[in-house]
Amino acid sequence: MSSRFQAPRGTQDILPDMQPYWTSVVRTAEEVTHLFGFRRIDTPIFENAALFEKGSGDTTDIVEKEMYQFEDRGGDRLALTPEGTPGIARAYLEHGMASWPQPVRLWTTHPMFRYDRPQKGRYRQHTQIDCEVIGSADPLVDAEVIELLWRIYQGVGIKNVGVRLGSIDDLEPRKAYIERLKEYYRPHLDRLSEDSRRRFDRNPLRLLDSKDERDLPYKDAAPKLVDQLSDGAQAHMDVVRAALDAAGIPVVIDPLLVRGLDYYNRTVFEIVPTDDERAQGTVGGGGRYDGLIEILGGPHTPAVGFGSGIERIVLEMQKHEVPVAAPAAPDVFLIHRAQDAARPVTSLAGALRSHGVAVIVAESGRSMKSQFRSADASGARFAVIIGDDELGRGVAMVKDLRGGGEQREVPLDAVPGAITGAG
């Protein structure tokens, strides 16, 4: 076994060359959420494990198979956050946000942890954009949340995506559909996966969300959720669809879309690449969850939201060669060889930085030739040179490395102005 440490399986290092993609996504999310009136919230990386068991559903894959759980030294049973909505709902209740003007619009970026099978675009630690609107039952809010996510993708340069829209109705009208679903699956039980056989009685909707190859042949012929929606759910879906059409967002109705969490009612949606024929590459998704706050001990409170993994967004950006800004280069590379240069070099670097100028100071003891090579490789616009002669006369040589190599002598105290005035 190698003695060298590596990142744990299913995790990754986001290296400097990749940071421009992440910066683009987060800045776009900040800009778009601001346009829609959202405010940022940050919740803990770990929560009480029971929060997700009650909120996400104890028969979901996230809770049953993927959640990282541990007991701390005080005996509390905790879990690393596997998905964002329950934590935000908990914060809404804990901090009395029901007394705020409604609805409350919250967003965040947050690391998520799931013991999943690592694959391209899917990690055991990933970072998610979460947006939640709590306190509104308006179907126009559902459409607005979908449009918000759509605008984030458009803003980072992902154009080839469409919306898969479904509805799972409300809890009471859903019971009749569940009985139809069980009748359909009952003759096939012995051919289904072990998970699906176990969930048949506890949570049969989870059968539609199964990715097991043994279950997939039976999914297409299963009874369709949207074929028997209650009047209220159908009217709600019609408004959402009309609003998305008005926004120019392409929508396909998915009659079997349930998503992988128990708290959803009425609207559910996923945004998928239109060039993925299998429609397996979901970039983001979410839905309405009017019962979650009540499940967590609060009053009945309608809500809707979504989650979208930044890694998956970046993957789409790379696939379509979306241009991003290059990593910022320093403005100045400070070259020096004077024997007594430590104090004036440090003072000049500090003065430049106080003027907003990014500076790299060359390592002491290196040859001037080596320092110039490093200056060129750094991408800096200017080299500022202080040798023994310059130090003795209280000046520096300022060389434009990107504008023809022009070099001029500047008094030390005037260097910041010379750099900032050069544009």
Structural domain boundaries of the chain? 16-169+229-319, 332-420
What is the structure's pLDDT at 62? 82
What is the structure's pLDDT at 288? 96
Q: Which residue has the higher pLDDT, 280 or 364?
A: 364
pLDDT tens digits, 31-43:
999 999 999 999 9
Q: Which residue has the higher pLDDT, 102 or 200?
A: 102
What is the structure's pLDDT at 280? 52
Note the CATH number of domain 332-420: 3.40.50.800
Provide the 8-state DSSP code for 36: T
pLDDT above 90 covers what percent of the chain?
A: 65
Residue 281: pLDDT over 80:
no
pLDDT tens digits, 338-362:
677 788 899 999 999 999 999 999 9
Residue 297: pLDDT over 90:
yes
- In this prediction the pTM is 0.88
Q: Are strands 125-134 and 395-400 parallel, antiparallel or unpaired?
A: unpaired
Residue 235 has φ and ψ, to the nearest 5°, of -65, -40
What is the structure's pLDDT at 260? 66
Residue 279: pLDDT over 50:
no
Mean pLDDT for the stretch of residues 160-180: 88
Give, in degrees to the nearest 5, the angle at Cα 135 between 133 and 138. Answer: 80
CB contact at 8 A, 88 and 131: no
**Record: fold of 16-169+229-319:** BirA Bifunctional Protein; domain 2 (3.30.930)
How do the residues of the chain divide into helix, strand and coil, expressed in percent and rounded to 5?
Answer: 40, 20, 35
Q: Rounded to whole angstroms, how far apart are CA atoms 346 and 350? A: 6
Residue 69: pLDDT over 90:
yes
Provide the 8-state DSSP code for 395: E
pLDDT tens digits, 225-241:
777 889 999 999 999 99
**Average model confidence (pLDDT) for the chain?**
90
What is the structure's pLDDT at 422? 72
User: Two tokens at 337?
Assistant: 């060889």
What is the structure's pLDDT at 384? 95
Helix segments in 253-341, DSSP class H: 292-295, 310-319
Among 163-177, 201-215, 310-324, name the most confident range. Answer: 310-324
What is the structure's pLDDT at 245? 96
What is the structure's pLDDT at 293? 95
CA-closest candidate to residue 67, choices 89, 52, 55: 52
pLDDT tens digits, 119-156:
777 899 999 999 999 999 999 999 999 999 999 999 99
